[in-house]
Amino acid sequence: MSTQATHAQQAVVDKAIEIEILRYRPEQDEKPFLQLFEIPYHPDMSILEALQYIKDHLDSSISFRWSCRMAICGSCGLMVNNIPKLGCKAFLRDYYPQKVTLEALANFPIERDLVVVMDDFIKKLEEITPYIIPANDDKCLSEGTYQQTPEQMEKYAKFSMCINCGLCYSACPQYGLDKNFIGPAALALLARYNRDSRDAGSAERMKIVNQEQGVWSCTFVGYCSVVCPKGVDPAAAIQLLKVESSKDYLIGMFKPD
């Protein structure tokens, strides 16, 4: 490596960026407070790596969730300058030289620092029977698998890409105002199963959809689809379920059962 290149690298290393983190330590704090850190700036450094740098070199008490570092586990969701993002998929270069403010995912209770309580979200995912309910339960394994054409798969493929990171719940003011709302990810997952040609559980799931707290709590803000790191488009899933729910209502008027 030439001397010039080394100097150029050194110059990048010498730059610093300010990271402000909303801290909350339940055993000693009454409420969260902001703490400022300054770390060396690298254009290829992710927010998650910045947090790891802080934990390794500046304050080991800071808590945050992470696992895969490649936007597939859905663990490192947090608010970056008030916008829900995955820490591993957001980079310092998009904020430098401005200060970056990190906060635990909005709309969820803070467990500690950047860690949130996700129990309500998980409960909602479980509620919608997120598995295929076959029409013929007695089908024997020896009769073979359920076949599906690429067209039939296309109908739900997008809605099956969810990694349960919770960013859409943080982006949803309706969930923020009413925690009883089933919410974007759970409803997208519900649509994923209702739209699957191998599934016969739609009627059961429509009972959840048709409730006030089902799709009808959604006012189509649409921010869930903007923040989704996997392009799931929960807003579209919910609007399509609204159409199904309206059909259900109309059919029910003429054919009550």
Partner 1 sequence: MSKRKPYQREMNNDWWLKNIFYSKYMIREGSSIFITLYSLILAWGVFRLSQGEEAFNAWLSALQHPVSIVFHLLVLLIALYHTITWFSLAPKAVDLYIKGKPLDGKLIVAGHYITFTVVTIFCLIVIML
| Chain residues in the site for partner 1 (CB under 8 A) | 24, 26-27, 31-32, 82-83, 106-107, 109-111, 117, 149-151, 154-155, 173, 176-177, 219-223, 225-226, 233, 235-236, 239-240, 242-243
Which lies closer to partner 1 via its Cβ, residue 15 or residue 123? 123
Where are the extended beta strands (E) located within the chain? 16-23, 33-40, 77-80, 83-86, 100-103, 110-112, 115-116
Please state the closest distance from residue 223 (CB atom) to partner 1, in A.
5
Shortest distance, position 237 Cβ to partner 1, whole Å: 9
| Rounded distance between C-alpha atoms, residue 175 and residue 250, angstroms | 28
In this structure, are strands 83-86 and 100-103 parallel, antiparallel, or unpaired?
Answer: unpaired
Tell me, what DSSP letter sits at residue 137?
Answer: T
Mapping DSSP to helix (H, G, I), strand (E, B) and coil, where does residue 117 land? Answer: coil
Least distance CB 109 / partner 1 (angstroms): 4
Both structure tokens of 186:
């759970």
Nearer to partner 1, 42 or 85 (CB): 85
Angle at which helix 234-254 crosses helix 184-194, to 10 degrees, equals: 60
Q: Are the C-beta atoms of residues 92 and 41 closer than 8 Å to each other? A: yes
CB of 176 to partner 1, least distance (A): 5
Task: Give the nearer residue to partner 1 in terms of CB position, either 150 or 256.
Answer: 150
Between 8 and 177, whose beta carbon lies closer to partner 1? 177
Nearest one of 234, 222, 116 to 185, comparing CA atoms: 234
Shortest reach from residue 130's CB to partner 1, in Å? 21
Q: Are 114 and 54 in contact (CB under 8 A)?
A: no
Shortest Å distance, C-beta 137 to partner 1: 28
**Token representation of residue 138:** 């007695």
39 or 209: CB nearest partner 1: 209
Q: Which residue, 72 or 120, is less far from partner 1 as judged by CB?
A: 120
DSSP 48: H
